[in-house]
Amino acid sequence: MFQRNKNLFYGRRKGRRISLTNSKIFEHYSHKFYLQEEQIHKIKLNEHRKNILEIGFGNGDNLVHMSLNKPYDFFIGCDAYYNGCIKLLKQIVDKNINNVKIWPDDINLIMKKFKRNFFDLILILQPDPWQKKKHRRRRLIQQKFLDDISQILKNQGELIISTDHEEMKSWVLEQFHIRDDFKWMKNGYHYKNAKPEWIIDTKYTNKALKNNKVVNWFFFKKN
Ligand SMILES: C[S@@+](CC[C@H](N)C(=O)[O-])C[C@H]1O[C@@H](n2cnc3c(N)ncnc32)[C@H](O)[C@@H]1O
């Protein structure tokens, strides 16, 4: 079985130059909202109504939406794309959000730092498909990754994955087919009926819908 190397992140880390305003926001607020590795084990299990993790939040719009609508829940957003993290940080500051923390790096670096059974819900919206056969190992959803997810998700906790990519749809099914710690609750091969109303269309979902692609939704529950 493929073991993911600890520091193996293949996606883009940086994009355009960060604006002066955003650099200042980073300077002033990153210490408050960016999660430090050594803080993770100190986060209390039952301090909030629910603990929710979004992996690969992109520009963070859905995280902002969820955190504003669920003020009693605690959110951790993770994305290794530096510019996306700063965009999210700006929204957090502008909208006075206080129930979100950002992990601005590869999720695999911190999976083992969380308490076991910590999260009620984990979201992975539109993971990178890494289409070429030789790049499959770069995909986020691998057996080792699911082993870690299984540790940090509560029993009966939910994992929601969406993708508009056909190959990724099969990949997700293959990865879960061989596991007995997750139960496939329902699937949605029709976008409009499947997306929970408390999740908003992300940048990649909007792009897919504009191109008349079907967005597939998978709902798994940990046994
Ligand atoms: C295709 S984009 C989707 C972004 C967003 N969820 C959306 O639907 O618009 C995938 C995102 O996952 C992030 N990502 C991929 N692998 C990751 C990892 N191992 N740790 C953290 N973020 C990751 C990428 O940086 C990228 O922003």
Q: How far is the CA of 21 from the centre of ligand 1 (A)?
A: 24
Test site for ligand 1: of 7, 12, 55, 206, most ligand atoms within 8 A of the Cβ:
55
**What is the reported pTM?**
0.94
Q: What is the mean pLDDT of residues 209-217?
A: 93
Render pLDDT for 128-180 as a digit per residue (tens, 0 to 9).
999 888 999 999 999 999 999 999 999 999 999 999 999 999 999 999 999 99
- 105 counts as catalytic: no
- Whether the CB-CB separation of 108 and 39 falls below 8 Å is answered with no
Q: Where are the domains of the chain?
A: 20-222
Rounded Cα distance, 80 and 91, in Å: 17
Task: List the residue whose alpha carbon is closest to atom 19 of ligand 1.
Answer: 106
pLDDT over 50 at 5, yes or no:
no
Alpha-carbon distance of 193 to 41, in angstroms, equals: 38
Q: Which position among 61, 79, 105, 128 bears the catalytic label?
A: 128
User: CATH classification of 20-222, choosing from 3.30.310.50, 3.30.930.10, 3.40.50.150, 3.30.465.10?
Assistant: 3.40.50.150
Q: Mean pLDDT for the chain?
A: 92
For tokens 């601005």, what's the residue? 104
Q: Is the Cβ–Cβ distance between 150 and 118 less than 8 Å? A: no
CA–CA separation, 54 and 106 (whole Å):
12
Instruction: Tell me the pLDDT tens digit for each residue of 83-121.
Output: 999 999 999 999 999 999 999 999 999 999 999 999 999
Ligand 1 atom with least separation from CA of 10: 16
Q: Which amino acid residue places its CA nearest to atom 1 of ligand 1? A: 128
